């Protein structure tokens, strides 16, 4: 895996993905084998947006590799509050760390920031753009629970603003996967994402009704309506709550359907789904630690 920076799922080949997932499986089986592998290394974390799973799992991953983190802290307690530019911030923090992880509300910010630093920079989400490490842990979850052969995946919810969707859709073009996108008309995949998927030869269809395809799916990837991305609160209210599933919904699904969600959820998956064999989203979140351990291990190994 020879990338200076991890900015987009589009840059990851099938071989790149396999190298991360294979390393994650090794780590998952024997975490103690890598406990001191990166002793003395520091990961700089710069989160300009709220985060629970991504930030905590990167922190856990680095510490489980024997390293540590230096954290920028809340934006309102940083020099950003004083007007410091993103370029200056990352150039400063680069001097304190061996690699950087950054989340930012503006699409394209990770790519821009990567042009100002020499240490590896990992995009932990840039607005409605990309979230490549979420995609890697999603793919690990799919491989462990459903496999990649002759795969039919439904992706439902906010496809316009959902960065996890954009990354996942691109990554799935590396595999024998049929993709069904289910959303309100107003939250369909952006035109640019659709174009890129067609160029990559994706097998894909768009729907407004989950029932059209539910019984064909091996994986159902549910996403939250991204309220914070909507420029107009009224636009959000028009679609909020339209796409929800519960245990009754899944009665029509295959017995081995895998239901996933990048979390946090609001009301799009009812709590009664948690008690079914379909629910894989909490394990999916837990998979963030071995997968991010694997990615950091490979990046820090290549940068030494």
63 has catalytic annotation: no
Q: Which member of 55, 103, 104, 261 is catalytic?
A: 103
64 has catalytic annotation: no
* CB hemisphere CA count around 165 (13 angstroms): 28
**Which residues, 6 or more positions from 261, have their beta carbon under 8 angstroms from its beta carbon?**
221, 222, 223, 224, 268, 269, 281, 284
41 has catalytic annotation: no
304 has catalytic annotation: no
Task: Quote the CA–CA distance of 25 and 106 in Å, as a whole number.
Answer: 33
Q: Which member of 3, 37, 53, 286 is catalytic?
A: 53
Strands 42-47 and 177-182: unpaired
CA nearest to 46, candidates 84, 8, 10? 84
Q: Which member of 5, 38, 131, 278 is catalytic?
A: 131
CA nearest to 298, candidates 138, 175, 172, 133? 133
Q: Which member of 45, 54, 59, 141 is catalytic?
A: 54
205 has catalytic annotation: no
The residues annotated with a catalytic role in the active site are 53-54, 82, 103, 131
């Amino acid at each position: 895996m020879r990338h200076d920076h991890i900015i987009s799922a589009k840059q990851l080949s099938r071989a790149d993905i396999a190298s991360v997932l294979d390393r994650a499986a090794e780590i998952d089986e024997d975490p103690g084998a890598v406990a001191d592998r990166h002793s003395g290394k520091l990961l700089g974390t710069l989160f300009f947006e709220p985060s629970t799973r991504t930030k905590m799992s990167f922190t856990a991953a680095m510490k489980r590799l024997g390293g540590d983190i230096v954290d920028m802290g809340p934006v309102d307690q940083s020099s950003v509050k004083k007007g410091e530019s993103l370029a200056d911030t990352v150039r400063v923090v680069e001097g304190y760390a061996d690699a950087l992880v950054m989340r930012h509300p503006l699409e394209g910010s990770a790519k821009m920031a990567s042009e100002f630093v020499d240490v590896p920079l990992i995009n932990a989400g840039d607005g409605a753009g990309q979230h490549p490490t979420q995609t890697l842990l999603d793919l690990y979850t799919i491989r462990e629970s459903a496999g990649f052969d002759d795969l039919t995946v439904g992706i439902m919810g906010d496809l316009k603003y959902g960065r996890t969707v954009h990354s996942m859709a691109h990554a799935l073009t590396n595999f024998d996967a049929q993709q069904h996108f289910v959303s309100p008309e107003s939250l369909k995949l952006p035109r640019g994402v659709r174009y890129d998927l067609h160029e990559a030869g994706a097998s894909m269809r768009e729907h407004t009704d989950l029932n059209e395809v539910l019984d064909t799916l091996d994986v159902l990837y549910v996403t939250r309506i991204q309220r914070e991305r909507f420029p107009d609160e009224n636009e959000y209210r028009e679609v909020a709550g339209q796409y929800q599933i519960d245990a009754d919904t899944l009665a029509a699904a295959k017995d081995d359907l895998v239901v996933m969600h990048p979390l946090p959820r609001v009301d799009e998956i009812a709590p009664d789904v948690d008690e079914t064999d379909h629910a894989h989203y909490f394990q999916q979140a837990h998979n963030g630690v071995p997968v991010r351990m694997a990615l950091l291990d490979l990046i820090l190994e290549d940068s030494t």
